[in-house]
Amino acid sequence: MKTLGVLISGRGSNLQALIDAQRAGTLGGAIAVVVSNVDGVPGLDRARVAGLPAVCCPQGGRTREDHDRALVAVLREHDVDLVCLAGYMRLLSPAFLEAFSGRILNVHPSLLPAFPGRDAQRQAWEHGVKVSGATVHFVEAMLDSGPIVLQEAVPVAEDDTVERLSARILEAEHRIYPRAVRIVLEGRYKWDGRRVRVSAGA
Ligand code: GRF
């Protein structure tokens, strides 16, 4: 059974989508550990309620490198095969990326490469796009830039607000993140340059 380590910083609704998929037997693996860099966040409670190891690893006064070394140690301790960033609001160091090279996924609330960075839903809404959406991608050194595994488009309604658009994008995130994790854990993809070619399956 392949294992996931999920990194969070807050609410944890994407973590919950992964937990629900694991329960439903559609994740293709099991969550071995949930790690937050922020103490007392709802995502840690969700992990505990689900009976998962929930670790708080605050950066404190440490450098990014030292903090990431501690994260890598926790993930290795739990034999993690794939790292899932789920609202993890901190850039990863080159050493972390190296330690889990090709084995880190992120979910982002826009159709990348449009609107990387924070507040992507508001960026899209203010830009006036007619379609936005959600993306799951492999993580590379540059922020929100890695090869794309899955995307789901979310049309922007004429009378939308940022809040309503964000809520629909979040639902799309919850649909595609567990599906993308399963594709990766089951090895149902091939590299074609920077294109991730997904083969058919469950
Ligand atoms: C999501 O919109 C995710 O795409 C972004 O941060 C948000 C985290 O939400 N990176 P949650 O903590 O999973 O509820």
Q: Is the pLDDT of residue 56 over 60?
A: yes
pLDDT class for 202, splitting at 50, 70, 90? low
CA of residue 170 to ligand 1 center, whole Å: 8
Q: Is the pLDDT of residue 62 over 60?
A: yes
Query: What CA–CA distance (Å, rounded) separates 166 from 123?
Result: 11
Share of the chain above pLDDT 70, in %: 99
Give tens-digit pLDDT for 115-155.
999 999 999 999 999 999 999 999 998 888 899 999 999 99
Give tens-digit pLDDT for 95-125.
999 999 999 999 999 999 999 999 999 999 9
DSSP codes joined into one string, 41-108: -HHHHHHHHTT--EEE---TT--HHHHHHHHHHHHHHTT-SEEEESS--SPPPHHHHHHTTT-EEEEE
What pLDDT does residue 163 have?
98
**What amino acid occupies position 73?**
A
Q: Which atom of ligand 1 is nearest to the CA of 166?
A: 2
What pLDDT does residue 68 have?
97
Superfamily of domain 3-107+137-149+175-190: Formyl transferase, N-terminal domain (3.40.50.170)
CA of residue 14 to ligand 1 center, whole Å: 6
CA of residue 174 to ligand 1 center, whole Å: 10
Query: What CA–CA distance (Å, rounded) separates 202 from 195?
Result: 21
CB of 107 closer than 6 angstroms to any ligand 1 atom: yes
C-alpha atoms less than 13 angstroms from C-alpha of 131 in its C-beta half-sphere: 5
* Entry pTM: 0.97
Q: Is the pLDDT of residue 201 over 80?
A: no
Nearest CA to ligand 1 atom 8: 87
Active site residues: 108
Residue boundaries of the structural domains of the chain: 3-107+137-149+175-190
What pLDDT does residue 143 have?
84
